[in-house]
Amino acid sequence: MSSSNDELERSGRQLEARIKKAFGRSLAIREVDSGSCNACEVEVNALTNPIFDIERFGLHIVASPRHADALLVTGPVARNMEHALMQTYLATPDHKIVIATGACACSGGIFKDCYATTNGLDKLLPVDVYIPGCPPRPQAIIQGLMVALDKMKEKAGHSTTSSKRLLDNDNGASGVAHDVF
């Protein structure tokens, strides 16, 4: 019993170190509801409550797209929201990443093939990370954000050659989120 606990503890600590590396930077997230049923919003809101508390990883949900590094989009992109979503996307500074959260944003989900919706966010915007689920539970969104941070590093790597070299050397961190889970 105690040995297995020790083992758990040890693997937990190893994991912790790797996760801290993945969360090496902060990330400002702007959430956009493009027509979800509100369940995804409830789960994203839950991320900031004392139980999940993503602020401890340096992840912030910000009030304006102009402050954001990442757009977390929920919903199947309702026709009436397309314009507002594009405006929000354009207002977000570059090297932004787009996270499609929930079945609706990934593919249109149960609302697909309808006159008022689009079949998923990637029909309109380049999507960097997909988080499936209806709705994805808060833990699943946290894992998705870890993947997003990883992607963020990759993206930043493409921008300038000097930082690319630096990040390439740091590749121990990228892909961590994925192969661990």
31-90: contacts with other proteins (CB under 8 A) = 31-46, 49-53, 56, 61, 63-65, 75-76, 78-81, 83-84, 87-88
Task: Indicate the residue among 134 and 156 with the shorter CB distance to other proteins.
Answer: 134
Q: How many residues bind other proteins (CB under 8 A)?
A: 78
What's the CA gap between 2 and 115, in Å, rounded? 59
Residues 152-171 contacting other proteins, CB under 8 A = none
Provide the minimum distance between the beta carbon of 49 and other proteins in the complex, in angstroms, as a whole number: 4
Beta bridge partners of 98: 71
Provide the minimum distance between the beta carbon of 60 and other proteins in the complex, in angstroms, as a whole number: 12
131: left (phi over 0), alpha (psi -120 to 50) or beta: beta
Residue 99, token pair as written in the block: 């996270």
Half-sphere CA count of 143, side-chain side, radius 13 A: 14
Query: How far is residue 181 from each of residues 74, 168, 178, measured CA to CA in Å?
Result: 23, 22, 6
Task: Indicate the residue among 55 and 170 with the shorter CB distance to other proteins.
Answer: 55
Residues 6+ apart with CB under 8 A from 21: 172, 173, 176
Task: Indicate the residue among 26 and 87 with the shorter CB distance to other proteins.
Answer: 87
Q: Is residue 126 reached through a cis peptide bond, with omega within 30 degrees of 0 on the bond before it?
A: no
Task: Indicate the residue among 162 and 172 with the shorter CB distance to other proteins.
Answer: 172
Pick from 92, 151, 153, 173: which binds other proteins (CB under 8 A)? Answer: 151
Task: State the virtual CA torsion across 91, 46, 100, 134 in degrees, nearest 10.
Answer: -150
Q: Does 112 bind other proteins (CB under 8 A)?
A: yes
Q: Does 143 bind other proteins (CB under 8 A)?
A: yes
Binding characters for other proteins, 3-22, by CB under 8 A (x = yes) = -----x---x--xx--x---
Q: Does 147 bind other proteins (CB under 8 A)?
A: yes
